[in-house]
Structure 1
C-alpha cells in the first residue's frame, strides 16, 4: 500500500492533487486543517482484506500437572474444592470469546469521523463557492436572497424564489415578483367553508387562542345569519375555566352551548343540535407530544355526524414546532388552518414556510382579542405584506451563514 501526504490551499485543490498523483482509485485516510490550507493522507493499493473478519483467537488453555497414578494407589475421592476447580476449568474451556462488532471497531469509528469531517469541509467549501459565484455573476440575486432570508423564510423557498425571478430587469422588480410568487405558493380557502355551515371542531396545541377564535367565528356567522342558526360545544375538561369562558361568550352572543367529555356525550349533543346550521366545537388544547392527543382527536370521529376540523396555530411559534404540530394533528385531517396571534409575532416567515411545506390551506387570520373585529379572511398577499412589515432589516445574517444556507438549500434540491 502506497501512502502519500498532500498539502493544498483548499480541499478542492487537495482532491485534485490526489487524483493526479495517485489516480481515481485512491482512498482518503485522514484530513485536517493546517496553516495555509488543508492536509490529506491518501493511499493507493488499499488492502481491503485487512478489514476482513478474523477468526476469534482460540480459547485459553489451562495447564496443570498430572501425576501418574500408581497401581497400588487408589483414586482420591473428589472434594468440594476439587469439584470447584474442575467446574471453573470447564467453564473456561467453554467460554466463547465475544466477537467485536465492526460498528464499534476503533479504526472504523475513526475513519467515519474523518469522513464526516471531510464531508463537512467539502460542503463548506462548496457553499462558499456558490455564494461567491452568485456574488460575481449575479450580485442582485445574492441581495435578493439576503432580503428574503431576513423575512425568516426557509432557505429552500428563498432559493426557489430567486430562481423564479431570474428574468427581472432590476432589483425592485425582482423583489416585487419574489413576493408575488411567495404569496402564490400559499393556498387560501376563503369564507366558503364556514358559509356552507356544518359541524366544525377547532383543534390545536395549548395557548393558541382556540376558545376566543370560536367566539369570533360564532359572532361573525351570527352577524350574517342570526343567533338562532348557531350553537357551541365544549370538550375541554382539562383547562381550568375553559368551559366558563365559552359560556360567557355564549351568553353574550345569546347562543346555546353544550359540554361533552366522551365520544358518546358528543354524539348526544350533536344529535340535539341537528337543527342548527353551524355548530362549533371547542376542543382541549394539547401539546403535539402529549400521549393523550390521539385519544382526544379520536373523540371527534363521531359516526354519521361529519365533524370537520380547523387546525389553529399561533404565528408566534417557531418553524420547527409548527412543522411538528401540523404533523401531530394531521390524523384529524384538518381542512384548513386558522393563524392566530399575528399581532404578537416579530416574524411571519416561519409560519408561512410551514404552511407552504405542509400544503395546508389558510382560512382565517386573527390579530387581536376583539370579538369579532380581529378575525379576518385569509389573503395571501396581505399576509406577505405583514411579513415584510414585521421585518426590520436590522441585525441581518452574516455572509458565512447565508453561504451555508444557500449551499444546504441547493444540496437538498439536488439530493
Structure 2
C-alpha cells in the first residue's frame, strides 16, 4: 500500500491533488488543520491530508469471451493481473477499511464471476456486505458535502483575507504610517488574487519598486570623473560615509579617487579628512568658497570619481542654505546625496527633504541604522517624497558598514524591528 501526505490551502485542493496522483481508489486515512505561520506574509490556513492506495490495484477487468474447458463447461479465463496463476484457489479479497474515506464517487463495483469462488455460505455474509455498501454510501454523501462547502469558500474571493490584516499589522508595528500601509495593501490587492504566501511575498517585493525606489550603485562615465556631493544636517554622518565610499572605490575597486572638502567650519574637519586621504592614498582639495571649485575640479580631471564633502547645514538657516545652493550650482555634480540619520523622526525628515530640494538632491542616503530598532520612518519618507535611496550605513568601520540600498534587504530590516 502506498501512503502519502498532502498539504494544501483547503480540503478541496488536497482532494484534487490526491485524485490526480493516486487515482479515484485512494482512501483518506487522516486529515488535520495545520497551525498558521505567525511571521509569514499573508499567513493562511492549511490542511494536511494523509491518503493511501493499494499499489497492486488494477483497472477493472475487461470481460473476455467464454471459453469451453476440457470438461465441456463454459467459463471465463482468469486474468493474471487479478489472480496469481501460480497459486491455486480463490483470489484474496481486500478487507474494507472503516477508518478511511474513498475519494471516488464512481458506482460500487459489482462482484465479478471468478472460477473457484465458493458461493456465500449464510445470511451473515450477506448482512456484512450490505453494511459495507451502506457505509460507503454514507461516506460518499459526506464527501459530496465537503466538496460543495470548500468550493463555495474558494469562490468567495471578495471577502477580506486574514493575510492582508497580518501584513498591515506588521507594517504598523514597524512604524509605517497607516495610510501608507493601506495604500501598499490596496496596490497588492489590485494586482490580482493571491493564492499562497510565496505569491504574496513576490507581489510585495514588486510593489516596493513603486513605494521604495532605489538609485543603484555609482556609475562611471566614459569620459571625465563622476562628481558625487554629500549634503545634509550637522552630525548626520556625511564625512564618515564619504570616507567609506572613497575607500571602497579606491581599495576594493581600484578606481582613481579624489576628495574635495568644503567643510571648513569645523576646526578638526580638514585634518581629519587629510589624514584619511593620506592613508588610502587619494587626492585631496580644500575649498573655502564656491569660487575655488573650478580650480579644484581641474586638479581632479584625470580621476574616475570625485567625492565632495560639505559643511553641515541647518535646513532652517536660510543664509546657510543659500551658500550651499551656490556651491552645488557651481560644482554641477552628477549625484547629490542627502545624508539623513535613521533616528530622525518623520516630521523632521520631511522638513529636511523639502528644504534641501533647492540644491537638487537626487539621492537619499540613510545612516546610523544600527542605532535604531524600527526603520518604518525611512519607508514613510521615501514613499512620500519619491526620491530614490542610494545607501545604508550601520556603523563606524571604514570601508565596511555600508551597503547598497535594495528593497529586499530593507524589508528584512523592517521585519527585524517587528520581532524585537
Scaled to the shorter chain, the TM-score interval is 0.5 to 0.7
Give the aligned partner of residue 213 of structure 2: 187
Q: Deviations over 1:188-208 (max 9, x none)?
A: 222243677411111111111
Asked if 1:241 is matched to 2:264, the reply is: no
Would you say 1:150 and 2:150 are equivalent positions? no
2:327 matched residue in structure 1: 299
How far 1:350 moved relative to its partner?
0.7
The verdict on how the C-alpha distance between 1:306 and 1:286 changes in structure 2, with shifts beyond 3 A counting, is closer
Q: Secondary structure at the match of 2:275?
A: helix
Equivalent runs, 1:197-236 vs 2, <5 Å? 197-226=225-254, 229-236=256-263
Measured after TM superposition, the shift of residue 214 of structure 1 is: 0.8
Quick check: 1:163 aligned with 2:191? no
**In 2, Cα distance between the equivalents of 1:308 and 1:378?**
15
- The structure showing larger relative contact order (alpha-carbon pairs under 8 Å, at least 6 residues apart) is 1
1:331 equivalent in alignment to 2:383? no
* 1:348–1:390 Cα contact (<8 Å) kept: yes
Q: Which runs of 5+ in 1 are unaligned?
A: 1-135, 394-415
Distance 1:270 1:344 in 2: 36
Equivalent positions of 1:26-41 (< 5 A) are none
- Bigger Rg, which one: 2
* Deviations 1:90-132 (CA, angstroms, capped at 9, x unpaired): xxxxxxxxxxxxxxxxxxxxxxxxxxxxxxxxxxxxxxxxxxx
1-structure distance, mates of 2:160, 2:293: 63
How high is the TM-score relative to the length of structure 2? 0.56
Q: Tell me the residue number matched to 1:361.
A: 388
Q: Deviations over 1:165-203 (max 9, x none)?
A: 443347886577446533552112222436774111111
Tell me which residue corresponds to 1:277.
Answer: 304
Deviates more, 1:374-383 or 1:181-190: 181-190
1:316–1:347 contact (8 Å) kept in structure 2: no
Equivalent pair of 1:202/1:282 in contact (CA under 8 Å): yes
Query: What CA deviation, in whole Å up to 9, does each residue of 1:35-71 have, x standing for no partner?
Result: xxxxxxxxxxxxxxxxxxxxxxxxxxxxxxxxxxxxx
Paired with 1:387 and 1:313, the residues of 2 have a C-alpha distance of 17
Q: Distance in 2 between matches of 1:158 and 1:307?
A: 33
C-alpha distance in 2, partners of 1:321/1:182?
23
Aligned partner of residue 382 in structure 2, secondary structure: helix
Residues 300 and 376 from structure 1, CA distance in 2 versus in 1: closer, same or farther, beyond 3 angstroms? same
Segments of structure 2 that go 5 or more residues without pairing to the other structure are: 1-158
Q: 1:174 to 1:268 in 2, by over 3 A?
A: same
How far, CA to CA, are the matches of 1:187 and 1:370 in structure 2? 27
> Higher helix fraction: Structure 1 or Structure 2?
1
- Work out the CA distance in 1 between the residues paired with 2:180 and 2:358: 26
d(CA) in 1 for partners of 2:238, 2:221: 19
- Structure 1 runs of 4+ off > 6 angstroms? 170-173
The answer (yes or no) to whether the contact 1:314–1:341 under 8 Å persists in 2 is yes
Structure 2 SS opposite 1:191: coil
2:124 is aligned to none
**For residue 344 of structure 2, what is the aligned residue in structure 1?**
317
Structure 1 Cα separation of the partners of residues 163 and 418 of structure 2 = 20
**Residue 147 to residue 183, structure 1, CA distance change in 2 (3 Å):** farther
CA contact (8 A) 2:324 2:359 kept: no
Cα-Cα RMSD: 2.5
Equivalent residue pairs, number: 256
